[in-house]
Amino acid sequence: MNPIDPAELSAYLDDELSPARAREVEAAMRDSPALRAELDALLEADKKWRAAVRSASFRPRIRLRNAATPKVSPYRAAGALALLVAARVLPKLGSAWDVELIVNGITLVIVMVWVIRMTRGDAPVASA
Amino acid sequence: MAPERQYALLLEPLLSQAAGYARSILRNRDDAADAVQQAALRGLERIRTFDESRPFKGWWFAILRHCCIDMIRSARAMHTEGLEDFDAAADAPPNFADWEQLSTAIGRLPEHHREILQLRYFADLSYRELAESLSIPQGTVMSRLHLARKALQMQMIGGET
């Protein structure tokens, strides 16, 4: 068996040794109270530090612009739709009442897109 | 699945640890949230160049570490109050009862010890992820982390006497 490097005690503590090497470290500790005492000191400190770091974490609110699914701007979509409707319908209109109806319809579409955008947000990854 | 979508899914479970890690460096909750936000966007810009054979967590925390360093440099350049707080905290006596005191004690160590302890404890990176994040071999991670722990232990003993 190769002698135990002190750094391997840290790796043993972190479960980063191969199973075979971990067994060798365990065997060496059975034969060496000093090695065992060193691991115990590392374990005690590790436990204390891990307990201390838990209170540092919190859930940040993160947004990814242009993330996930690339989106067409709702305003542009509404504008394009309004132009399309206007180009097809306006030439056929005969009365002011029809024009008013179309204008109200386009306004309604724009307002709906705006409401959808306000309620949906910008692709949040996580929220607080 | 698009890389951007995959990125969002991989990032989501890291956010709490990321915030804790950034907070340990910046010592301010709002600054930590800003650093995580910046790192999230910076990572998104680079996700298409990410090598999937490498650990994502180590890769992304390297980005976050650089964002934190950039924020500290900016704060130093502007001489903000936050930085004064950061420096003043280094004089507090360590008893390791909470994260701020632990972070203060870690902050007194040399940079290479500080970096590896912050990533190990606040970000919970594995040795492979630490190697990726710090661009060092895994063998170096093992020895450096052990020496850093011993140095922190010495501070703990000094703080308790």
Coil/strand/helix, residue A3: coil
Res A101 pLDDT > 80: no
Domain of A38, in residue numbers: 6-56
Domain B3-160, CATH number (from 1.10.287, 1.20.140, 3.40.50, 3.30.70)? 1.20.140
- Torsion sign across C-alpha atoms B32, B18, B71, A64: negative
Question: Do B36 and A11 count as a contact with CB atoms less than 8 A apart?
Answer: no
Write down the pLDDT at residue B43: 95
Question: Do B127 and A53 count as a contact with CB atoms less than 8 A apart?
Answer: no
Residue of chain A whose alpha carbon sits nearest to that of B47: A67
pLDDT tens for each residue of chain B, 161 residues long: 788 889 999 999 999 999 999 999 998 999 999 999 999 999 999 999 999 899 999 999 999 999 999 999 988 887 655 544 554 444 444 445 688 888 889 999 999 999 999 999 999 999 999 999 999 999 999 999 999 999 999 887 776 54
**Chain A contact present for B20, CB below 8 A:** yes
**Of the candidates A45, A59, A60, which has its C-beta nearest B149's C-beta?**
A45
Indicate if ipTM > 0.90: no
**A35-49, A105-119, B134-148: the lowest-pLDDT one:** A105-119
**Are both A74 and A122 inside the same structural domain?**
yes
Shortest Cα–Cα distance, A22 to chain B (Å) = 14
Res A17 pLDDT > 70: yes
Alpha-carbon distance of B44 to B11, in angstroms, equals 10
Contacts of B37 in chain A (CB under 8 A): 60, 62-63
Question: Do B142 and A64 count as a contact with CB atoms less than 8 A apart?
Answer: no
**Of the candidates A10, A55, A60, which has its C-beta nearest B36's C-beta?**
A60
Res A121 pLDDT > 70: no
- Number of folded domains in chain A? 2
Write down the pLDDT at residue A58: 92
Are B132 and B55 spatial neighbours (Cβ–Cβ below 8 Å)?
yes
Taking CA atoms, B133 is separated from B4, B44, B57, B113, B158, in Å, by: 21, 17, 8, 14, 31
**Chain A contact present for B95, CB below 8 A:** no
Strand partners of residue A124: A63
**Are both A80 and A44 inside the same structural domain?**
no
Write down the pLDDT at residue A76: 73
